[in-house]
Amino acid sequence: MTDTAQSDAPANGEGLKSIAEASEELGVTQRTLRFYEDKGLIQPRRVGAMRVYSRREMGRMQLILRGKRLGFSIREIGEFLSLYDADRGKESQMRHLLQQVEDRIEELRHQRDAIDKTISELEVIEQQARDQLPR
C-alpha cells in the first residue's frame, strides 16, 4: 500500500500523524513533506509503508517553513537544524542563527533600496507619460 492509500488512516495514539494529517496541519502538500524528507531535513518514521510524523518532525517542519518564509535557503535551514540537533546548550545555534538573520536583514535592506529606486524612476516615467497625453 502507498502513503496516499494509507494517508487517511489515523497514525496512532502516540501523537503521530499520517502524511495526510501532517500536510493538512502544516498547510503544505504531501509532496512538500516528501521533498523535505528527500533533502534529509525531516525523518518521519515508517509504520509499514506509511510515513508517520512525530511532534519532533512537525516542529522541524514548522522551523523549515518559517525559514523558507524568511528567505533562507534549504542549505541554510539544514545547517540550522543540524546545529539544533548537535548543540543542546544552544549557544552555537543562536550565534549561527544570529549571523544568518543579520545577513538576511542586510540583503533585504539592499533589495528594499533597489525597489525604492526603481519605484522612483518609474514614477518619473509615469509623470512624463501623463504630461505627454492630451488633456
Per-residue pLDDT tens over the stretch 77-86: 988 888 777 6
Listed residue (48, 60, 63) closest to 11, CA to CA: 48
Domain that holds residue 16: 1-86
127, 63: one domain: no
28, 64: one domain: yes
Say yes or no to pLDDT of 113 above 70: yes
Among the listed ranges 10-14, 19-23, 35-39, 103-107, which one has the minimum average pLDDT value?
Answer: 10-14
pLDDT category at 92 given cuts 50, 70, 90 is: confident
**Which letter, b or e, does each residue of 28-56 get, where b requires 16 or more Cβ atoms within 10 Å of its Cβ?**
bebebbbebbeeebbebeeeeebbbbbee
